[in-house]
Amino acid sequence: GCDASVLLDDAATFTGEKTALPDFNSGRGFEVIDTIKCQLESSCPASVVKQLGGPSWRVQLGRRDSTTASLDLANSDLPGPDMSLGELITAFADTGLTAEEMAALSGARTIGQAPTDIDPLYEVSLREKKYASGVSVLVTTPISFDNDYYKSLRGLLISDFRGGSTASQPSANAYSPAAEFFLRDLAFSLLQRSKWVSAHSRGLGGEIQ
């Protein structure tokens, strides 16, 4: 959805998502985000700065956003990094998304860093390029939101490797030469994802956006 619940710290009324197994060793640097957000809000409240080059889309109103987070829901609903391709497709289908939309959403890894868990020689190559604190998914354009994820799909993560399998290969092939197709489909897939409300969370309240 749009509520960024993974950013919420544990509170007296709930245990948040930061320690969920699917997020293990994935979501990091929250204190940096908190610091940047605080400084931005004090300097230019309610303003947005876009520098990475990613897509823009109009967020639909009238949907329900949560005001809390749930460790249990994160463990049950988030896809894990060791899932097979079939398990990934099923997990995304359970939230109303197709294999093609899964392939588009996977391209969001075009920025950020992650420890590699496949192809040891590839890891050595990346670390030699001074990404010792965490291996960048794409060393060519690590701070640009583009389609190089699909051009460089060598399987930094096991789930990336499976993303290059036959079920999602047509989408990856289409996005590799044409960034505009990737950005268009990513925006559409994010909108589709924001419409889904977990059956487990329908009774958790929240607020109408």
Which segments are annotated as binding site?
1, 3, 5, 17, 79, 110, 141, 146
Number of Cβ within 10 Å of residue 13's Cβ equals 6
Q: Where are the beta strands (DSSP E) in the chain?
A: 64-65, 207-208
Q: Is 116 exposed, middle or buried (0-12, 13-18, 19+ CB in 10 A)?
A: buried
Torsional sign, CA 15, 17, 22, 28: negative
- Known binding residues for Ca(2+): 1, 3, 5, 17, 110, 141, 146
Q: How many other C-beta atoms are found inside a 10 Å radius of the C-beta of residue 111?
A: 19
Phi, psi of 14 (to 5 degrees): -160, 155
Q: Binding site for substrate, residues?
A: 79
Say how far apart CA 67 and CA 205 lie, in whole Å: 8
- Give me the DSSP letters along 44-71: STT-----S-----PPPSS-EE-SS--H
